[in-house]
Amino acid sequence: MRVEASLRATPTGDITVTAAELERAGAGAVSDSESSRDPMLTMAMAAVSTERIGLATGVTIAFPRSPMVLAYGARMLHDQSGGRFRLGLGTQVEQHMERRFGVPWDSPGPRLRDYLQALRAIWSSWDTGEPLQHAGPFYAMDLMTPEFSPGPTPYGRVAVDLAAVNPYNLELAAELADGVRLHVFSTPAYVRDVVGPRLAAGAARSGRELTGFEVYGGGFVATGAGPEDVTRAREQARARVAFYGSTMAYLPVLRHHGWGDLREQLRELVRHERWDDLAAAVPDHVLDEFCTAAPYPELAAALRERWAGLVTTVQVPAPVPYAAGWDGFAGACAAIADL
């Protein structure tokens, strides 16, 4: 099992130094999500201060960008980092597409399939010099002159991982992509009972083996150098469980555990803008299913008990720059890598 350190809570000004520290600590990869900033830019910053660690977007939101725009950006990061970059792609949800990004929302699963195929057609054209030919239901491209092609890359094809929650995208990831990024709002039982069979079905459809297929996950991880760090991180996870739990897209996870009524309770609080009461509505037994809470010396054992055999890479928050605890984080990375 590998460690991917998330920079989600790392201030932008600390990205380069944190990425370098994560590399020294033995993390397998570093990633950032598209929440309040562009993870493509974050990874460009991380690339300049590192030499070996993997770089990934977890995830980049696809539909506000044309496949061509993202193909150029991903290729630049791949070349700049010496082939260390993986592109994580996600769809977001309807409200954010239409009201935050201002783009249409229709057929997100089939559109994501076409998007991935368009990306690969573009990269293939650059690598082989063959004419660009992609004619899908959502994207059509057939113009690529030498002036606009960066030519072949010496680092191989950019790996693409798909974020997936619903059954269609889970199967699509196993059918066509290089890995799947499971939403943090996941439990071991849901991954075992629902995600695993869907991935197997997608792989069977394309006749592929899932050897080398990456499964990123591990739910919420509350960790740190000592008990106070773990307690603080666990309560932060409770707030995020409450936020995601109030959203219709993640209701299947709650229903799988028989907690469908919790979504209605959380939704009612959101409806009345009772934001301060949201986290308290998530009981401890629910939080414990979503969150692995342990200090660094105990983290590998806790993750093994909950996630061994279900994910290949576990996502762990990066320590705060310049703070104590980096030795403990390095020890956790080494222990997790041995799982």
pLDDT digits (tens, 9 = 90+) for 28-58: 999 999 999 999 999 999 999 999 999 999 9
Q: What is the pLDDT, as a whole number, of residue 321?
A: 77
Q: What is the pLDDT of residue 320?
A: 81
User: What pLDDT, on a 0 to 100 scale, did the predictor assign at position 175?
Assistant: 98
Same domain, 115 and 232: no
- Structural domain including 259 reads 227-293
175-199: b (≥16 Cβ within 10 Å) or e: bbbbbbbbbbbbbbebbeebbeebb
Q: Are residues 80 and 170 in the same domain?
A: yes
Q: How far apart are CA 319 and CA 316, in angstroms?
A: 9
pLDDT at 172 over 80: yes
pTM: 0.95
What's CA 282's distance to the chain center, in Å?
24
Other CB atoms within 10 A of residue 16 CB: 17
Q: Which of 65-74, 218-227, 320-329 has the lowest mean pLDDT?
A: 320-329
3-state secondary structure of 115: helix
Mean pLDDT for 1-18 is 95
pLDDT band at 105 (very low <50, low <70, confident <90, very high): very high
Condensed to tens digits (0 to 9), the pLDDT of residues 299-325 reads 999 999 999 999 999 999 999 876 768
| Same structural domain, 122 and 255 | no
Residue 171 sits in the same domain as residue 314: yes
- Are residue 256 and residue 115 in the same domain, yes or no? no
Report the chain's mean pLDDT, rounded to a whole number.
96
CB 290 within 8 A of CB 241: yes
Pair 154, 283 in one domain: no
Quick one: pLDDT at residue 235?
A: 97
* CA 304/CA 336 separation, integer angstroms: 8
215 in the same domain as 181: yes
Asked if 105 and 86 sit in the same domain, the reply is yes
What does the DSSP 8-state code read for residue 164? E
**Residue found by looking up tokens 């094809």 in the block:** 157
Same structural domain, 125 and 257: no
Q: Which residue has the tokens 């660094």?
A: 296
pLDDT at residue 325, as a whole number: 80
Instruction: Reply yes or no on whether the pLDDT at 259 is more than 80.
Output: yes
Q: Please state, for a pLDDT cut of 90, what percent of the chain lies above it.
A: 96
Are 51 and 165 members of one domain? yes
Average pLDDT over residues 229-248: 96
Residues 176-212 pLDDT 10s: 999 999 999 999 999 999 999 999 999 999 999 999 9
Judge if 239 and 129 occupy the same domain.
no
Q: Is pLDDT above 90 for 249?
A: no
CB 236 within 8 A of CB 184: no
Same domain, 140 and 248: no
Q: What is the CATH number of the domain that holds 46?
A: 3.20.20.30
Q: What local confidence, expressed as pLDDT, does residue 323 receive?
A: 72
DSSP three-state, residue 1: coil
Q: Indicate the number of domains in the chain.
A: 2
